[in-house]
Structure 1
Amino acid sequence: MSTFVLVHGAMHGAWCWRDVRDRLADAGHRVFTPTLTGQGERRRALTPEVGVSTHVLDVTELLWFEDLSDVHLVLHSYAGILAGPVARRAGERLAGIVFLAAFLAEPGQSLLDVEPPSIASRYREIVAAEGEGWRLPASSGFLDQWGVTDPELRGWAGPRLTDFPFRCQTEPVDCPADALDGIRKVYVRHTAPALDSLAPFHRRARALGWETHDLRCGHDTMLAAPEETADLLHRIATS
C-alpha cells in the first residue's frame, strides 16, 4: 500500500480526481485529494490575495495535519510549480513527486514566465478585460485547449471549472535551487493531443535523467483516461 496526495491544476478541484481516487483506493492505496484555496468547492475563498504561497500551504498543512510520510505527491498542470516550495517545507515526507502533464518553474520564475509569451499575453488581456484585474475567468474554451472533446465529459466538467486567481500566475516560486535534490522525480507526458506549451518541461525532465512516461490522452488525464492514469500511478508507486 502506498500513500498518494493528488493535487489538481488551475480551475479544477478535488472533484476531478474522483475516478482516479476510487481506482487507487480499490487497489489498496491511501489517497488524499486536497482542493486548493479558491478552487472547486472552496471557490468562495477566492480573493485577489490567493497565490502560489497560499497553495503551497494548502499542501504542506495537509501533509502535517495528517502526519503523512512516504508520500507520492502527484502535481497536475499548474500544480507542478508548487513542487520546489513544498519540497523545501516538507521534503522529508515525500517518497517522490510525479509531475503529471505539469509545468516546471525554477526559483524566481512565475507560471507566466514559463508559459509561451503569446499565451501569457492572452491571459493578461483576459484578466484585465474580464477578470477585474485579479482573476482568470473559467470558461468551456479551456476544455478545448486541454483536449477534452467527449460531450458527456465536457457537460460534467465544464460547469465545475472555477475562476483562477491571477496571483497564482504571477507570484514567483520561492525555494532554493536544490529543493528537489534527493527526491525521486517522474514526468508524465500526454500525447493525444499533446500540449505544445508543456514540451520544454518534458525535454528538461529527460535531459536531467528523470523517469518519464507517456499517456495517450489529452491534458486532463484524470478525466480523459482515469483508468490509465490510476494504473500508471500504481505502477510508479510500486516499482
Structure 2
Amino acid sequence: MATFVLVHGAMHGGWCWSPVRRRLTAAGHEVFTPSLTGQGERRDALTPEIGLSTHVRDLAELLWFEDLTDVHLVLHSYAGVLAGPLAEAVGERLASATFLAAFLVEPGECLLDVEPPEVADGYRRTARERGEGWFLPPAPAFLEQWGIPDDLRSHVGERLTAFPLRCQTDAAHYDPAPLAALPATYIRHTRPPLESLDRSYGRAVQAGWDIREIACGHDAILAEPERTAALLESIAGGR
C-alpha cells in the first residue's frame, strides 16, 4: 500500500480532498490532507506575512513529525509551486510527485510569472482594490473560471478562503536537481481546460513526464473523486 500526501490549491483546504481521501483510505492506503496556513479550517491564521516559504515549511514539518517516507506527493493547482523547494528540503522522503492541474515554476519564478499576463494583472488589481493590498478575496467568478459543476458550486463556494498575494508573488528559489530526480506525472483536466495552466502543461510535456488526462474542470478532486483516486493509485502502483 502507498502513502499519499495530497496538497490543495489556492482558497481551498484539506477539506477538498475528502472524497478522494475516503476512497484511497478504503483501499488501504495511508493518506494525509493537510490544510496550509491561512487556508481551510486554518483561515484564522491568515496574515500578510504568509508566503511561499510558510507553506513549504507546513509540508516539510508534516513529513518530519509524522516521519513519512516513500511519499507520493500530489499537488493541486497553486501547490505545484511548492514542489521544487519542498523536494530540495525533504526529497529523500519522496517517492514521486504528481501535478494535478498544477502550476510549474522554474527557479526564480513566481506563480504570476507563469500565468497569462492579463490574469496576473487582474489578480494584482483585485488584491489592491478588494483585498487590502495583500490578499485575494474569494468570489463567485472563481467557480466559473474553474469549471465547478452546478451541483457543487454552493458546497465549494461556501468554503473558499482568502488567499495571500505573497503566495503568488514570492519567487520559488530552489536547486532543480532533487525535483528532477523524482518520477513526475502531470494530470491535465480537459472539460473545460484552463488557459492559465497551458504553460505549465507544456513544460511537463517538454520534460518528458508521464502525462494523464481527466475529463472535468479544475477541481477534479471534487468533480471526479473516483476517477482521481484511481489515477493516483495507478501512478503510485506504477512506481
The amino acid that maps onto 1:202 is Y
Residue of structure 2 equivalent to 1:122: 122
- Spell out, residue by residue over 1:79-106, the C-alpha distance to the aligned partner (whole angstroms, 9 max, x if none): 0010000000000000000000000001
After the TM superposition, which residues 224-235 of structure 1 pair with which residues of structure 2 at under 5 Å, given as runs? 224-235=223-234
- Segments of 4+ in structure 1 off by > 4 A? none
SS of 2:179's equivalent? coil
The amino acid that maps onto 1:26 is A
Correspondence 1:155 to 2:154:
yes
Residue of structure 1 equivalent to 2:43: 43
Shift of 1:139: 1.2
Residue of structure 1 equivalent to 2:190: 191
Contact 2:105 2:200 in 1 (8 A): no
Residue of structure 1 equivalent to 2:52: 52
After the TM superposition, which residues 161-172 of structure 1 pair with which residues of structure 2 at under 5 Å, given as runs? 161-172=160-171
Residue of structure 2 equivalent to 1:17: 17
Residue of structure 1 equivalent to 2:208: 209
2: distance between equivalents of 1:50 and 1:161? 17
Contact 1:85 1:179 in 2 (8 A): no
Shift of 1:149: 2.5
SS of 1:144's equivalent? helix
1: distance between equivalents of 2:140 and 2:2? 35
Contact 1:13 1:40 in 2 (8 A): yes
- Spell out, residue by residue over 1:94-123, the C-alpha distance to the aligned partner (whole angstroms, 9 max, x if none): 000000000000111111111110000000
Residue of structure 2 equivalent to 1:6: 6
Consecutive unaligned residues of structure 2, counting only runs of 5 or more, are none
The amino acid that maps onto 2:57 is L
After the TM superposition, which residues 175-190 of structure 1 pair with which residues of structure 2 at under 5 Å, given as runs? 175-190=174-189
Shift of 1:222: 0.4
Question: Percent identity, aligned pairs only?
Answer: 61
Shift of 1:171: 0.5
Shift of 1:141: 1.2
The amino acid that maps onto 2:177 is D
Correspondence 1:76 to 2:76:
yes
Correspondence 1:99 to 2:123:
no
Contact 1:101 1:187 in 2 (8 A): yes
TM-score normalised according to structure 2 size? 0.98
RMSD of aligned alpha carbons: 0.7
Consecutive unaligned residues of structure 1, counting only runs of 5 or more, are none
Q: What is the aligned residue count?
A: 238
The amino acid that maps onto 2:158 is P
1: distance between equivalents of 2:81 and 2:70? 21
Correspondence 1:219 to 2:218:
yes
Residue of structure 1 equivalent to 2:64: 64
Contact 1:98 1:185 in 2 (8 A): yes
Residue of structure 2 equivalent to 1:136: 136
The amino acid that maps onto 1:141 is A
Shift of 1:178: 2.1
Contact 1:59 1:86 in 2 (8 A): yes
2: distance between equivalents of 1:156 and 1:207? 37
1: distance between equivalents of 2:32 and 2:10? 18
TM-score normalised according to structure 1 size? 0.98
2: distance between equivalents of 1:173 and 1:141? 28
SS of 2:108's equivalent? coil
Shift of 1:196: 1.1
The amino acid that maps onto 1:189 is R
